[in-house]
Amino acid sequence: MSQLTTVRRHRVDNARNVAKACNFHTRALRHVRSLLTDDVAQTVACSIVASRLDYCNALLSGAPAATFDKLQHAQNNLARVVCQSPGRTDARPLLHSLHWLLVKQWVTYKLAVLTHKVRTTATPTYLSELVQTRAPPLALRSSHAPMLVVPHIHTELARHAFSVAAPSTWNSLPADIRLCENILTFKRHLKTHLFKLT
């Protein structure tokens, strides 16, 4: 079995286990949802269920669609319970109303924020050493927005490494977001940008 196949299998198994745990807690929340206020229900959902979807999810960057589908289905179910909507309700408007990014976009968000931290603070060192700023070819305003070097790779497995995934994600962001030095401003603009993509 190749390394890539092993990695994919681990990701699928992990996504299945996370989705299973999320669905279990979502069902429990459904039983008491009518007793909770909207704010309390959202707090419970975020602390008990959504936190499981969030844990180490930056490692899912580049995972196949089937992996994200399992996790997205779990998040959709959670949104319906929190909003007290029927089981077949379109979840996207509900996610917007809750200010929740799609799982795949949340992975992008986490990876971009981590990359911003690595660039601005040079910590942790073991990740900072993997990120290099690319020299701008022309003296344009957009060239002042830092782009990162994406190393050449020879295998599909290497595409999932931080040294490749981080600069690829960073370079895909609009220049005005890459220019944000303040982390809070960066997060706000990044989340707004990702919401617009849904």
My answer on whether 58 and 134 are in the same domain is no
Where does a domain end: 100, 124, 144? 100
Kindly list the averaged pLDDT for each block of 10 residues, start to end, along the chain of length 198.
65 85 95 96 92 81 85 96 94 94 93 94 88 71 76 76 91 95 96 90
Would you state the pLDDT for residue 188? 96
Where does a domain end: 63, 80, 100? 100
My answer on whether 34 and 95 are in the same domain is yes
My answer on whether 119 and 76 are in the same domain is no
My answer on whether 142 and 175 are in the same domain is yes
pTM of the model: 0.84
Would you state the pLDDT for residue 75? 96
My answer on whether 17 and 72 are in the same domain is yes
DSSP the chain: --HHHHHHHHHHHHHHHHHHHHHHHHHHHHHHGGGS-HHHHHHHIIIIIIHHHHTTGGGGTT--HHHHHHHHHHHHHHHHHHTT--TTS-HHHHHHHHTPPPHHHHHHHHHHHHHHHHHHH--SHHHHTT--EEPPSS--GGGGS-EE-----SSTGGGGSHHHHHHHHHHTS-HHHHT--SHHHHHHHHHHHHHHT-
My answer on whether 62 and 127 are in the same domain is no
My answer on whether 122 and 61 are in the same domain is no
My answer on whether 15 and 59 are in the same domain is yes
My answer on whether 67 and 132 are in the same domain is no
Would you state the pLDDT for residue 3? 65
Would you state the pLDDT for residue 157? 66
Residue range(s) defining the domain that contains residue 33: 3-100
My answer on whether 111 and 185 are in the same domain is yes
Would you state the pLDDT for residue 137? 62
My answer on whether 7 and 96 are in the same domain is yes
Q: What is the total count of domains within the chain? A: 2
Where does a domain end: 100, 121, 156? 100
My answer on whether 86 and 41 are in the same domain is yes
Would you state the pLDDT for residue 112? 95
